[in-house]
Amino acid sequence: MDDAVDTALRLFHARGYDGVGVAELGAELGIKPPSFYAAFGSKAGLFQRALERYTASDANVFARAQAEGGGVAAVVDRTLALAAQLYPGRADGVAGCLVLDGTRNSADPEARALTAALKRASRAAIRDFIATEAPARADELADFLVIAMAGMSAAARDGADAATLASFAGMASQAFHHAFAAA
């Protein structure tokens, strides 16, 4: 089961939810459609498991940055730097963030709802963390970070390299520091 979720995660991350069909998933997993549906319930059920695996991994750049400790400014700097390192893609060529881009333009409302819930939870965690030091501007600063990360993910999927994203991350960090100091 773990290998099946890893395989699905890789496929969904590479091509997005709509870009991967049940027949292909079954073939990649070595199972027929009845067994696929018995194991996962639906394509969206497998996608949910893949998202859970993804968000519990090192791909969750905010959680990784926060785990290293420090104040808001340091954690935001690390979050942006980690995104700049991770989003351009690994050796397998998968770029961007599965949560941010996996259902972009998807026709499946269930899949979109899964990523939307994760985006809301992530924004809330970022907002709550920022509120520990800047409660009056926590919403605005959280939106800034979320939008910056979404842009970095989209740029990576469009081919932006690590150097380009690192440069952007540095500028975004400076802008965040400026806004944060005014909070």
Q: What is the pLDDT of residues 22-69, one digit of tens each?
A: 999 989 989 988 889 999 999 999 999 999 999 999 999 999 999 999
Interval 103-127 mean pLDDT: 97
On whether both 164 and 119 belong to a single domain, the answer is yes
Residues of the domain holding 167:
59-181
Residue type, 75: V
Predicted local confidence at residue 1, as pLDDT: 80
On whether both 89 and 143 belong to a single domain, the answer is yes
On whether both 48 and 114 belong to a single domain, the answer is no
**What average pLDDT does the structure give for the chain?**
94
On whether both 85 and 39 belong to a single domain, the answer is no
Q: Domain total for the chain?
A: 2
pLDDT confidence of 20, banded at 50, 70, 90? very high
- List b or e across 120-148, with b for residues whose CB sees 16 or more CB atoms inside 10 angstroms: eebbeebbebbbeebeebbeebbebbbeb
On whether both 77 and 143 belong to a single domain, the answer is yes
On whether both 38 and 123 belong to a single domain, the answer is no
On whether both 66 and 43 belong to a single domain, the answer is no
On whether both 47 and 106 belong to a single domain, the answer is no
On whether both 73 and 99 belong to a single domain, the answer is yes
